[in-house]
Amino acid sequence: MPSITVVGSVNRDLVLTVEDLPRPGETVLARGFVEGVGGKGANQAVAAARLGSQVRLVARVGADGEPIRRVLAAEGVDLDAVLTAPDARTGIASVVVDRAGENTIVVNPGANAVLSVEDLPQWLARTPGEVVLVQHEVAADVVEAAVLRAREQGGTVVLNPAPARPVAPAALAAVDVLVPNLGELAALLGAEPVSGLAAARALLERAGLPCGAVVVTLGADGALIKQPGRPAVHLPAPVVDAVDTVGAGDTFCGALADALARGADLPAAAARAVRAASLAVTGLGAQSSMPYPAQLDTVP
């Protein structure tokens, strides 16, 4: 089985569905409510596990985290490196989703903020080439230490720099595949936000980031890949009826890691990740519509 280690966050997701997102000062009534497991680390771990990878999660939950552990264990995620912060609550994400599938999210980090460099296992990449997947919902020093340790151990390092914040130059140089969305790419470059495929391609072509490759997720427009010495390549997304876009980016990252761990080249891995993310937006909640392999085979 392909092997992946995910270092990241675990949250309780509280998801409210509404007709339209509230404006500042406005109160709206929800049409529905769903509670589930989320956090970028947990989401990406589940996405990869559903596609058949052996996934180990490195994270922290609070003293209230036993129900979340049960959910993740049922998905086949290895929880040996998920520690309990006895004096903290598990992180909480309040998510509001409108009828078009757009959302706003507010996160209280909780136990995620307690995850420290000392909590990282000695071996993140347990075998050469093992994929180590990291995101920004934990402390910056944890991200940097995880990236550098995985690189030293011969791992394939994938960094999803979300939420957007600066990345230490040494850590960025140690990343094999950087996976930002368009806003996060602009933030990393200190550039003004852009929109549209042509502007995204132009921004990526002149980015000059010191990492290996960059894969920019573009939502309904799919993704752009930039590998060293090659022009950017666009991967369009299949057309689907979007219900909830929460978790689409995490599904992309988990599916990308799964494909890379199986030995796929980056264009093939990213194409598979685009299909997986497209399926993920067809249901409510971050994890409910994350696909299994048989479902991916139905998407052109």
- Asked if the model's pLDDT at residue 13 lies above 80, the reply is yes
Question: Stretch 273-293: mean pLDDT, rounded?
Answer: 90
Beta bridge partners of 56: 5, 78
Q: Phi and psi of 99, rounded to 5°?
A: -65, -20
The answer to whether the annotation marks 254 as part of a ligand binding site is: no
- Asked if the model's pLDDT at residue 300 lies above 80, the reply is no
- Asked if the model's pLDDT at residue 256 lies above 80, the reply is yes
> Could you tell me if 7 and 121 are in contact, meaning their C-beta atoms sit under 8 angstroms apart?
no
Q: Where are the domains of the chain?
A: 3-10+40-89+116-296
The answer to whether the annotation marks 11 as part of a ligand binding site is: yes
Question: Stretch 101-130: mean pLDDT, rounded?
Answer: 92
Beta bridge partners of 96: 16, 104
- The burial of 288, by beta-carbon neighbours within 10 Å (0-12 exposed, 13-18 middle, 19 or more buried), is given as middle
Give the pairing type, strands 54-62 and 78-85: parallel
* pLDDT per residue as tens digits for the range 191-202: 998 988 999 999
What's the pLDDT score for residue 77?
Answer: 98
The answer to whether the annotation marks 289 as part of a ligand binding site is: yes
> Could you tell me if 76 and 4 are in contact, meaning their C-beta atoms sit under 8 angstroms apart?
no
* pLDDT per residue as tens digits for the range 78-114: 999 999 999 999 999 999 989 988 888 899 999 999 9
Which CATH fold topology does 3-10+40-89+116-296 show? UDP-N-acetylmuramoyl-L-alanine:D-glutamate ligase (3.40.1190)
- Asked if the model's pLDDT at residue 2 lies above 90, the reply is no
Give the DSSP letter of residue 241. Answer: -
The answer to whether the annotation marks 263 as part of a ligand binding site is: no
> Could you tell me if 90 and 10 are in contact, meaning their C-beta atoms sit under 8 angstroms apart?
yes
- Which residue among 78, 119, 176, 250 is the active-site one? 250
Q: How far is CA 279 from CA 147, 173, 289, in A?
A: 29, 32, 7
What's the pLDDT score for residue 1?
Answer: 67
* pLDDT per residue as tens digits for the range 138-157: 999 999 999 999 999 999 99
> Could you tell me if 185 and 207 are in contact, meaning their C-beta atoms sit under 8 angstroms apart?
yes
How far is 6 from 93, CA to CA, in rounded Å? Answer: 19
The answer to whether the annotation marks 12 as part of a ligand binding site is: yes
- Asked if the model's pLDDT at residue 128 lies above 80, the reply is yes
Residue 241 annotated in active site: no
Whether the full predicted model's pTM is greater than 0.85, yes or no, is: yes
Give the DSSP letter of residue 219. Answer: G
**Cis? peptide before 163, omega within 30° of 0:** yes
